Amino acid sequence: MKRFRLILREQGKAREMGGEEMSIAVQIVYNIFMNALEAGASDIHLQPERDQLKIRFRLDGELTDNGQLPPETAANVLARIKLAAGMHIDERREPQDGRVDMEYETRKLSARCSVIPSLNGEKVVLRILDPAAMRVDLAKLGMSLEVMEKWSKALESPYGMLLVTGPTGSGKTSTLYASLQNFDRRRRNIVTVEDPIEYEFADSVTQVQVTEKMGFPKVMRTFLRQDPDVMMVGEIRDPESLDIAIQAALTGHLVLTTLHTNNAVETVGRMFDMNAEPYLVSAVTVAIMAQRLVRLNCPKCREPFTPTDDEFVSLGFEPGQKIDGTFLRGIGCS
């Protein structure tokens, strides 16, 4: 059994890209994906430059260089990626979006693909979507006990709006998915509107993918006629969506959603900027949680170390305080 396969879907049928005889370009595409998955990357960036295509992975929130391709090879590689994403490979003047399906070892994954023309060629960014990463228990997300208790209590509210905030790539969707796991799905009508659907629930959750003709506001209005108990909205992008979310929360529904703000306090001001009435925001808001992803030490290259006095204090400890345990730091894999 192959460790990795790219799946092409044509006219309702699925087949492996390349099959038994793979071109050099397809082999390179396979290697890019496998290297990214083995490294635990969240995104793959293919950055065109004057004399090369630079390959970069986003690891723990930071971009790292992972090789380059000459221009004559890059063109074929980009064409194969666009084909896998269901794009028009001969369209090089307009942005395109697509989805790549793949199998890695025993896991089925996908990647959201975005292509945009630039000065030196087409820039490609692939966001890897791993359903297994979304199947997370709230207790394993790394929240403090105090935050965990407050958020769990907020999820028990019969109606209102709960917001998770933070910059792009800070794990907001993972928190929403983990929160939905807390509900008794057999006794609740749970609906979600997402762009894209990153994890498919096995049962008792109605998930809707946003399209050009069926945006967030249209789906949310329809949901209100579907007798929902819990509504998850992947992201509040415009005043209309916020207004519908507020109305849903006012009329007896529990709404879980996200906003792109830097902290919890800014979220209230952002809603005001989106034309929400202050008294309505006050009436429906149950909880706002801001979050960031924390980089972890690599288990292969970490080593014990002793923090300086300034580092010790910055971590919240008192000078001279005795700590049970060992401080570790990553030194970088050679």
Each residue's pLDDT tens digit in the chain (334 positions)?
568 888 887 666 667 777 655 688 999 999 999 999 999 899 999 999 999 999 999 987 889 999 999 999 999 999 999 999 989 999 999 999 998 999 888 888 899 999 999 999 999 999 998 877 666 789 888 899 999 999 999 999 999 999 999 998 888 999 999 999 999 988 999 999 998 887 888 788 999 999 889 999 999 999 999 999 999 999 999 999 999 999 999 999 999 999 999 999 999 999 999 999 999 999 999 999 999 988 788 888 889 988 888 888 888 888 778 888 888 888 877 6
Read off the DSSP letter of residue 318. P
CB-count exposure of residue 167 (10 Å: 0-12, 13-18, 19+)? middle
Dist CA 258 CA 304 (whole Å): 38
Confidence (pLDDT) at 134: 65
Q: pLDDT at position 21, please?
A: 57
State residue 12's pLDDT score.
Answer: 61
Looking at residue 330, what is its pLDDT?
83
Per-residue model confidence (pLDDT) at position 151: 97
4-129 to CATH, choices 1.10.540.10, 3.40.50.300, 3.40.50.720, 3.30.450.90: 3.30.450.90
Buried b (16+ CB within 10 A) or exposed e, 90-123: eeeeeebebbbbbbbeeeebbbbbebeeeeebbb
- Architecture per CATH, 138-290: 3-Layer(aba) Sandwich (3.40)
CB neighbour list of residue 288: distance below 8 Å, 6 or more residues apart: 162, 163, 165, 264, 267, 268
Question: Closest by alpha carbon to 87, among 47, 195, 95?
Answer: 95
CATH 3.40.50.300 domain residues, the chain: 138-290
**Is the C-alpha dihedral spanning 69, 75, 79, 85 positive or negative?**
positive
**Long-range contacts: 223-227, Cβ < 8 Å, 24+?**
223/191, 223/193, 223/248, 224/248, 224/251, 224/253, 226/189, 226/191, 227/189
- Could you tell me where in the chain the CATH 3.30.450.90 domains are found? 4-129
**pLDDT at residue 334, rounded to an integer:** 60
242-270 b/e with 16+ CB inside 10 Å = b? bbbbbbbbeeebbbbbbbbbeebebbbeb
